[in-house]
Amino acid sequence: SEPLVQVSGLTKHFEERSGFFGGDVEQVQAVDGVDLTIERGETFGLVGESGCGKSTLGRTILRLYDPTDGTIRFKGRDITDSSYDELRPLREEMQLVFQDPFSSLNPRRRVGEIVEEPLAIQGVDKREREERARKLLERVGLQSEHYGRYPHAFSGGQRQRIGIARSLIVEPDFIVADEPVSALDVSIQAQIINLLDDLKDEFDLALLIIAHDLSVVRYVADRMGVMYLGELAEVGPAETVFQDPKHPYTKALLSSAPIPDPTRRDRERIILEGEPPSPIDPPTGCKFRTRCPKAFEECTAEPELEEEDPDHHVSCHLY
Ligand code: SF4
Ligand code: MG
């Protein structure tokens, strides 16, 4: 059957002015030709350094940004060019969970009102809204009585539970969770990740988890993608990518991550030189070649994301 989300050649460039008082307009190539499918019931983890385009990719798939190029299909339907009005009924089927859901919300609103607001917009009557919000508060590990409290009374982990309840109340099919636990204490992170994972099964969702923390992705993702400068360097089953990374960037990223794993004790640590280049003026050919310890002549030509093993794709001339 058709994947829930199918993205091909997805590209998002932003215009940015260099300097004050109207310098030149430059193109920030935030996302550059990404192919990706996500199935119902699947958790897909997206990793990469900050600024690599993960968040932009997630938001462009949700059509919170207009893509510059490429196509987005959701449940088989091409939504690449859908208008605001055409997208409105789809908005509730595709939700975004933020790092801190309350940074953009009114602290003077009660938790129950925050959770049920999407239903209010749909015109669901107050009694049903409240019943569903209370039920969902319990389901995400809070209490029905929390309905009347204000956000400031809650801890970071509890706030994220409230944010998750709000995103689930409209019964979406697809959730993009952008760094859902990176603002939380380590001791709370696993609880929230477990909650998302349980809810994914219970609600039959597809989940796109964006994280710079590799251990989060290893723990929860079925498949994963590694992004570098707006492109996917490697995509595969999460366990395969962790056990047998192919792309030199993936190897470097994993080798620097403090993941306790006895089977990997002998793996050499790869230190990458310098910062990632600017997405305004990325290297031609392989975008990783300015930092790649394995770069050779051929790397001035752009590699394609190709199948290395079944379901395991790598974008590198070594393969
Ligand atoms: Fe390194 Fe070349 Fe592979 Fe790019 S294509 S990752 S530069 S070896
Ligand atoms: Mg980001």
* Share of residues in the chain with pLDDT > 90 (%): 66
CA of 289 to the centre of ligand 1 (A): 6
Please say whether the beta carbons of 185 and 198 come within 8 A. Answer: no
Per-residue CA distances from 249 to 58, 69, 239 (Å)? 21, 26, 17
DSSP H stretches of helix in the chain: 54-61, 84-91, 111-122, 126-139, 156-168, 186-203, 214-220, 238-243, 248-255
Q: What is the mean pLDDT of residues 44-49?
A: 94
Q: For residue 31, how many C-alpha atoms fall within 13 Å in the half-sphere facing its CB?
A: 26
CA of 275 to the centre of ligand 1 (A): 17
Q: Look at ligand 1, atom 5, and give the residue with the nearest C-alpha.
A: 316
Q: Look at ligand 1, atom 3, and give the residue with the nearest C-alpha.
A: 316
Residue type, 63: R
Q: Is the pLDDT of residue 239 over 80?
A: yes
Per-residue CA distances from 204 to 42, 155, 173, 216 (Å)? 9, 28, 7, 21
Q: What is the mean pLDDT of residues 232-259?
A: 90
Q: Which two tokens stand for residue 233?
A: 């360097």
Mutation test residue for ligand 1: of 253, 291, 318, the one with most atoms within 8 Å of CB: 318
Indicate the pTM of the whole model. 0.91
Q: Look at ligand 1, atom 6, and give the residue with the nearest C-alpha.
A: 316
- pLDDT at 113 (0 to 100): 93
What does the pLDDT look like over 153-204, one tens digit per residue?
Answer: 888 889 889 999 999 999 999 999 999 888 888 888 889 999 999 999 999 9
Please enumerate, as own/partner, the contacts of 292-296 that have beta carbons within 8 Å and a separation of 24 or more.
292/248, 292/249, 293/248, 293/252, 294/248, 294/318
CA of 234 to the centre of ligand 1 (A): 12
∠ Cα 3 6 8 (to 5°): 150
Mutation test residue for ligand 1: of 232, 272, 289, 308, the one with most atoms within 8 Å of CB: 289
Fold of 5-93+172-314: Rossmann fold (3.40.50)
CA 113 to chain centre: 27
- pLDDT at 263 (0 to 100): 57
Separation CA 216–CA 196 (nearest Å): 12
- pLDDT at 245 (0 to 100): 95
